[in-house]
């Protein structure tokens, strides 16, 4: 993982032994090089299927500086009787002269059915006290998530992983009262939210927000939830009431309403899109003005059409974060609080009803 890797492992171990080994390793590493200090930002628990541990490790390797300061991977294997553990302490970079390098701790504990009833007592001693904890269960195991929520302040989900959008939204909704929900499906839409917010921000454009007549959101076929959350965000921020959307051809469509007007909503599949998330957004206003944003090389391709028919095209620069970037952002968001997600989720649920 990094330039300094110190490893300890033991078969048939206990949480106490793992915790003692962690403490000892940290003391030894710091004694050897005072510029190496432990990061103390965030605990993260990942409950994963053991056979996919390598894939999860690969995904986490890509998040770089957003790696949790202590990462506990609970690797589940059916039929396993023994608790085995491996501790790795690493740095991402060597310390420059006179500067510090941060140590990250990764603990992989392999366990089986017999340990599930006592999972909290296995995980709890391995968390750094007083740090917030983010819980992630990328392979399902919702019952286990319920168990471990008592140790966590935030839970990482990816609503596009669920095959049925309504189930995904319901799942996130049910978690929101127990922990802060960080939804990667929501984070994939962040640049789109920023750009539309920015497009309507000049004072002369703000009144247009009250005269939007239609919104089309184009999305990866597996990212319908992201499109619903995006539409839910617009609805919740602009005070629209949303009803269930209706499926037709490759899209979902419906009507949102405020006190004075109706807004046509269309969530259209974009089979050509290779990556999860949104492909484009088009917003039209009553005056005849429209704004389209679409993925393009080096940023979003923007097209605005004025009521008089004049058209302008330009590129809004921005680099793609990729899926590892989205995951890293998800980990970072565990330390923040976005007050707009839950209202957007609520509006999206109404569309998926």
In whole angstroms, what is the distance from residue 71 CA to residue 21 CA? 15
Site size toward other proteins, by CB under 8 A: 54
Question: 210, 263 in Cβ contact below 8 A?
Answer: no
The residues, any chain, with a CB within 8 Å of residue 59's CB and separated by 6 or more, are 323, 324, 327
Could you say which of 37, 149, 222, 303 contacts other proteins (CB under 8 A)?
A: 37
Instruction: Give the shortest CB-41-to-other proteins separation in angstroms.
Output: 6
Min CB(277)–other proteins separation in Å: 14
In the complex, minimum distance from the CB of residue 334 to other proteins, in angstroms, rounded to a whole number: 9
CA distance 345 to 307: 33
Least spacing, CB of residue 304 vs other proteins, in Å = 7
Does 136 help bind other proteins (rule: CB under 8 A)? no
Shortest spacing between CB 280 and other proteins, in angstroms: 15
Q: Which of residues 76 and 136 has its CB atom nearest to other proteins in the complex? A: 136
4-37 burial: b if 16+ Cβ within 10 Å, else e: bebebeeeebebeebbebbeebbeebeeeeeebb
DSSP, residue by residue, 222-287: T-HHHHHHHHHHHHHHHT-EE---EEETTEEEEEEE-SS-EEEEEEEE-TT--SSSEEEEEEEETT
- Closer residue to other proteins in complex, CB, 12/288: 288
47 binds other proteins (CB under 8 A): no
193 binds other proteins (CB under 8 A): yes
- Name which of 98 and 271 has its Cβ closer to other proteins: 98
Give me the residues paired with residue 312 across strands.
304
Among 22, 25, 29, 41, binds other proteins (CB under 8 A): 41
Q: Which stretch binds other proteins (CB under 8 A): 78-86, 148-156, 271-279, 335-343?
A: 335-343
Please tell me whether residue 204 binds other proteins under the rule CB under 8 A: yes
Please report whether residue 206 would count as binding other proteins according to CB under 8 A.
yes
Q: Can residue 182 be called a binding residue for other proteins (CB under 8 A)?
A: no
The dihedral through the CA atoms of 264, 196, 192, 271 has a sign that is: positive
Q: Is 319 a residue that touches other proteins (CB under 8 A)?
A: yes
Q: How many CB atoms lie within 10 A of CB 322?
A: 11
Q: Which is nearer to other proteins, 139 or 301 (CB)?
A: 301
Phi, psi of 239 (to 5 degrees): 75, 30
What minimum distance in Å lies between the beta carbon of 201 and other proteins?
Answer: 4
* C-beta of residue 155 within 8 angstroms of C-beta of residue 186: no
Torsion of CA 174, 177, 181, 183, to 10 degrees: 30
Distances from the Cα of 274 to the Cαs of 60, 184, 324, in angstroms? 21, 17, 15
Instruction: Identify which of residues 15 and 328 has a Cβ nearer to other proteins in the complex.
Output: 328
How many of the other CB atoms lie within 10 Å of CB of 39? 20
Candidates 62, 125, 299, 346; binder of other proteins (CB under 8 A) is 299
Pick from 171, 195, 220, 269 the residue near other proteins by CB under 8 A: 195
How remote is the C-alpha of 332 from its chain's centroid?
9
Binding positions for other proteins, 76-135, rule CB under 8 A: 98-100, 102
In the set 79, 203, 271, 309, which binds other proteins (CB under 8 A)? 203
Check residue 209 for interaction with other proteins (CB under 8 A): yes
Cα gap 29→102, rounded to integer Å: 11
348 and 243 in contact (C-beta within 8 Å)?
Answer: no
Which residues of this chain interact with other proteins, rule CB under 8 A? 37-42, 65-66, 69, 98-100, 102, 191, 193-204, 206-207, 209, 234, 237-238, 297-299, 302, 304, 306, 310, 312, 314-319, 331-332, 335-336, 338-341
């Amino acid at each position: 993982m990094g330039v300094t890797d110190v490893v300890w492992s033991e078969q048939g171990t206990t949480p106490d032994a793992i915790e003692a080994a962690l403490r000892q390793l940290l003391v030894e590493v710091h004694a050897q090089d005072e510029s190496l200090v432990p990061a103390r930002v965030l605990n993260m628990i990942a409950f994963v299927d053991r056979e996919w541990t390598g894939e999860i490790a690969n995904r986490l390797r890509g998040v770089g500086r957003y790696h949790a300061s202590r990462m506990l991977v609970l690797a589940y294997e059916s039929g396993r009787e023994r608790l085995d553990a491996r501790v790795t302490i690493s740095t991402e970079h060597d310390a420059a002269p006179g500067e510090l390098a941060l140590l990250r701790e990764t603990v992989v504990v392999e366990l089986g059915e017999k340990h599930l009833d006592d999972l909290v007592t296995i995980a709890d001693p391995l968390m750094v006290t007083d740090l917030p904890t983010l819980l992630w269960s990328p392979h399902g195991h919702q019952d286990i998530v319920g168990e471990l929520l008592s140790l966590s302040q935030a839970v990482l989900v990816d609503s596009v992983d669920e095959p049925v959008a309504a189930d995904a939204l319901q799942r996130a909704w049910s978690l929101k009262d127990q922990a802060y929900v960080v939804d990667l499906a929501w984070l994939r839409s962040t640049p789109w939210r920023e750009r539309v917010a920015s497009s309507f921000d000049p004072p002369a454009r703000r009144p247009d927000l009250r005269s939007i007549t239609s919104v089309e959101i184009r999305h990866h076929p597996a990212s319908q939830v992201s499109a619903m959350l995006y539409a839910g965000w617009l609805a919740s921020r602009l005070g629209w009431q949303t009803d269930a959307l209706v499926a037709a051809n490759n899209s979902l469509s419906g009507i949102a309403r405020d006190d004075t007007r109706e807004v046509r909503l269309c969530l259209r599949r974009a089979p050509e899109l290779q990556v999860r998330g949104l492909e484009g957004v088009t917003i039209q206003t009553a005056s005849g003005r429209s704004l389209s944003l679409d993925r393009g090389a080096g940023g979003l391709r923007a097209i605005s059409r004025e009521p008089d028919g004049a058209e302008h095209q330009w590129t809004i620069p921005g680099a793609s974060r990729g899926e590892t970037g989205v995951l890293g952002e998800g980990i970072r968001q565990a330390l923040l609080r976005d007050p707009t997600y839950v209202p957007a989720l609520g509006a999206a649920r109404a569309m998926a009803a």
